[in-house]
């Protein structure tokens, strides 16, 4: 491991972030299937103390779970169900394409979008492992897909961070391909956290998200963008070079700005409708945002919206 990678790992695992958001639990909105009893709901009804619901008895149900008191009062057979808690499998999917190299023109600092994605991922992974969940990472890098399977060991965190630091973003986007791969490879229901600018055709993304959902995974997506990209704040004529290998474009920003922004809004709208359709928690994250606040907001939103799976 090189010195820069070590620095990157240290930066990713910022204790200040953890201090701020450590008290908020990372919760799954949909039930997960885990091997260890944990703080996440399991789709299996179990024998925990958490009451879930009554339902009519059907032949074959375990008679031990029949609520005799209700039967005594109403002469009807009800089965009392309890929720079974399980542990969470967190898979962080990071987009390592060329467009993630962008670090902003307007005072956003030296961080690239990829770096922000890694920091977010590392912090979330750290949170998950601390509460006993398993965290793994899949990076859609240029020419390769880096996969680190989920583990619950605290030392696994350094493995994740090391892999993230090793990969240099570049090349065209392979995110949809990787997402399909993740959907297939992740056997049990998991929480998939996508870190990407999502600069890709919405149709492909929709298929990938639907695939994830179909496979029972819960998906969150952090769309990491810079304000340059969302607001297109350029004054003078600029040659825009595609980091993903496309043809460069020389444009007078004043002339193309409105069309650019319209395309941006269209794309954003498409993403949002996909997110709704595929039940994806889509979050727009700007490069100049505070990581701790972003994560805190994410966690709080999840904790508040705990639903059923």
Among positions 83, 115, 181, 197, the unique one binding another protein when judged by CB under 8 A: 197
Nearest to 115 by CA among 167, 71, 66, 67: 167
Angle, to 10 degrees, between the axis of helix 202-214 and the axis of helix 175-185?
A: 10
Bridge partner list, 84 = 42
> Which residue in the set 177, 184, 252, 290 belongs to the binding site for another protein (CB under 8 A)?
252
- Minimum distance from residue 257 beta carbon to another protein (Å): 5
Verify binding: residue 223, another protein, rule CB under 8 A.
no
Tell me phi and psi for residue 86, to 5 degrees: -145, 175
Please choose, from the candidates 83, 88, 84, 81, the residue with its C-alpha nearest in 3D space to the C-alpha of residue 32. 88
CA separation, residue 299 to residues 22, 123, 240 (Å):
10, 12, 37
Residue 223 belongs to what H/E stretch?
A: strand 218-225
Q: Does 229 bind another protein (CB under 8 A)?
A: yes
Residue 258 CB, nearest approach to another protein (Å): 4
CB closer to another protein, 25 vs 172: 172
Q: What is the DSSP code (8-state) at residue 98?
A: G
Closest to another protein by CB, 75 or 236: 236
Quick check: 168 binds another protein (CB under 8 A)?
no
What 3-state class would DSSP assign to 193?
strand
Q: Does 238 bind another protein (CB under 8 A)?
A: yes
CA 19 to CA 252: how far, in whole Å?
46
- At residue 3, the 3 state secondary structure works out as helix
Of residues 19 and 254, the one with the C-beta less far from another protein: 254
Binding mask 92-131 for another protein (x = CB under 8 A): ------xxxxx--x-------x------------------
Report in angstroms how near the CB of residue 164 gets to another protein at its nearest: 19
Our finding on whether 267 is near another protein (CB under 8 A) is yes
300 binds another protein (CB under 8 A): no
CA nearest neighbour of 244 among 183, 170, 152, 134: 170
Decide if residue 271 touches another protein (CB under 8 A).
no
Which residues here bind another protein, judged by CB under 8 A?
Answer: 98-102, 105, 113, 197, 199-200, 225, 229, 231, 234, 236-244, 246, 249-252, 254-265, 267
């Amino acid at each position: 491991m090189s010195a820069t990678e070590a620095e990157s790992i240290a930066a990713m695992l910022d204790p200040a972030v953890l201090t701020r958001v450590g008290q908020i639990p990372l919760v799954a909105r949909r039930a997960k299937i885990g091997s260890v009893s944990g703080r996440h709901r399991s789709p299996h009804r179990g024998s925990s103390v958490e009451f879930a619901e009554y339902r009519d008895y059907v032949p074959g149900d375990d008679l031990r779970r029949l609520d005799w008191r209700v039967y005594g009062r109403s002469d009807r057979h009800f089965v009392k169900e309890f929720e079974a808690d399980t542990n969470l499998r967190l898979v962080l999917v990071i987009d390592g394409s060329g467009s993630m190299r962008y670090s902003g023109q307007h005072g956003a600092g030296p961080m690239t979008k990829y770096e922000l994605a890694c920091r977010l991922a590392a912090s979330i992974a750290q949170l998950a492992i601390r509460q006993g969940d398993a965290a793994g990472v899949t990076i859609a890098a240029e020419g390769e897909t880096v996969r680190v399977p989920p583990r619950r060991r605290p030392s696994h965190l350094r493995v994740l961070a090391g892999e993230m630091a090793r990969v240099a973003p570049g090349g065209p986007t392979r995110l949809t391909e990787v997402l399909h791969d993740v959907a297939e490879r992740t056997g049990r229901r998991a929480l998939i956290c996508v870190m990407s600018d999502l600069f890709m055709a919405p149709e492909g993304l929709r298929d990938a998200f639907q695939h994830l959902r179909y496979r029972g995974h819960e998906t969150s997506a952090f769309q990491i963008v810079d304000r340059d990209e969302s607001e297109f704040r350029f004054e003078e004529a600029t040659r825009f070079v595609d980091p993903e290998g496309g043809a460069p474009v020389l444009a007078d920003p004043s002339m193309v700005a409105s069309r650019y922004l319209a395309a941006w809004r269209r794309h954003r709208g498409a993403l949002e409708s996909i997110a709704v359709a595929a039940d994806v928690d889509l979050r727009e994250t700007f490069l100049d945002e505070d990581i701790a606040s972003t994560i805190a907001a994410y966690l709080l939103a999840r904790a508040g919206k705990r639903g059923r799976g």
